[in-house]
């Protein structure tokens, strides 16, 4: 059972403004919610689920001492953002993440310059996870990490990838002796280039990498086809 006040509160989290004010966000679906429950990075505040979900996941709910309420499918439809809700919705506390300097220096990090589409952001995070890239840095004007479409498209990769927001100019001092690669159509073919660890910059969907960042000496490579290939797997 879910109260009218609870329904109103959850519906308010459909708005970015309210998500930011309360530092809470929504996740939906059996796989995504179950992954979030069974981890320690984010705090799951409450779960609203059908009897079927609760019956099949009672042990994991109790193991992690999750507050949950049984609701009907009709009630789930009232609070869901999905056309066809899938058994469960959860309210989760945002996690403040910081740049891992060791990862930046010794491994590969993605820098996303003005990615605007939530689905694209989620897909890139999922691709990073697939490649074993553990850190993604977003420019301040990127779309919101906690947009439900971003989280859905990431397919749980946000649990394994450190996603941080940082202005590129502020990041530069940390990039001494770190190769900086730009994903540009006019760049060299990635398959015939020797790629070492470093920072890979991916630009806006329509305009690519901003001129301010292009003015830095980038190693230009064609990453686009590689990203499309992995995204479709």
Here the CATH number for the domain that contains residue 45 is 3.30.1330.30
The residues near 132 (Cβ < 8 Å, ≥ 6 apart) are none
Mean pLDDT value across residues 195-200: 81
**Which position has the higher pLDDT, 35 or 173?**
35
Pairing of strands 199-202, 109-112: parallel
Query: What tens digit of pLDDT does each residue of 38-87 get?
Result: 998 999 999 999 999 999 999 999 999 999 999 999 999 999 999 899 99
Tell the residue number behind the tokens 């990203």, with chain if given: 227
Is residue 30 located within the same domain as residue 84?
Answer: yes
Q: Is the pLDDT of residue 8 over 50?
A: yes
Residues 50 and 23 in one domain: yes
Query: 46 lies in which domain range?
Result: 4-93
pLDDT digits (tens, 9 = 90+) for 87-128: 999 999 999 899 999 999 889 999 999 999 999 999 999 999
Same domain, 139 and 225: yes
Q: Quote the number of domains for the chain.
A: 2
Give the pLDDT band (50/70/90) at residue 221. Answer: very low
Q: Of 63, 93, 123, which one is at a domain's C-terminal end? A: 93
pLDDT for the residue numbered 232: 41
pLDDT tens-place string over residues 154-175: 999 999 999 999 999 899 889 8
Say how far apart CA 77 and CA 86 lie, in whole Å.
Answer: 9
Inform me whether the pLDDT recorded for 35 exceeds 50: yes
Q: What is the mean pLDDT of the chain?
A: 89
199, β-bridge pairs: 109, 180
- 120 & 216 share domain: yes
Please state the three-class secondary structure of the chain as a single string.
Answer: CCCHHHHHHHHHCCCHHHHHHHCEEEEECHHHHHHHHCCCCCCEEEEEECHHHHHHHHHHHHHCCCCEEECCHHHHHHHCCCCCCCCEEEEEECCCCCCCHHHHHHCCEEEECCCCCHHHHHHHHHHHHHCCCCEEEECCCCCCCCCHHHHHHHCCHHHCCEEEECCHHHHHHHHCCCCEEEEEEEEEEHHHCCCCCCEEEECECCCECCHHHHCCCCEEEECHHHHHHHHCC
pLDDT band at 182 (very low <50, low <70, confident <90, very high): confident
Average of pLDDT values for 173-199?
76
**Among residues 93, 120, 140, which one ends one of the domains?**
93
Count of all residues that appear for the chain in the document: 233
pLDDT of residue 189: 63
- Shared domain check, 124 and 214: yes
């Amino acid at each position: 059972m879910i109260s009218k006040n609870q329904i109103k509160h959850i519906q308010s989290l459909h708005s970015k403004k309210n998500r930011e004010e309360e530092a809470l966000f929504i996740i939906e679906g059996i796989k995504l919610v179950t992954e979030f429950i069974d981890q320690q990075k984010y705090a799951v505040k409450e779960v609203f689920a059908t009897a079927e979900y609760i019956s099949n996941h009672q042990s994991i709910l109790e193991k992690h001492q999750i507050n949950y309420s049984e609701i009907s499918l009709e009630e789930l439809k009232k609070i869901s953002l999905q056309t066809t809700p899938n058994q469960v919705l959860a309210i989760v506390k945002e996690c403040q993440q910081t740049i891992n300097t060791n990862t930046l220096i010794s491994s590969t990090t993605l820098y996303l310059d003005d990615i605007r589409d939530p689905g694209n952001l989620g897909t890139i995070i999922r691709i990073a996870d697939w490649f074993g890239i553990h850190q993604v840095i977003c420019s301040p004007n990127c779309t919101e990490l906690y947009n439900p479409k971003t989280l859905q498209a990431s397919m749980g990769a946000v649990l394994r990838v450190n996603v941080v927001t940082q202005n590129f100019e502020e990041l530069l001092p940390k990039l001494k002796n770190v190769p900086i690669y730009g994903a540009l159509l006019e760049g060299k073919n990635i398959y015939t280039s020797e790629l070492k660890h470093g920072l890979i910059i991916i630009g806006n969907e329509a305009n690519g990498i901003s001129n301010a960042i292009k003015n830095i000496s980038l190693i230009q490579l064609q990453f686009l086809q590689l990203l499309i290939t992995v995204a479709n797997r």
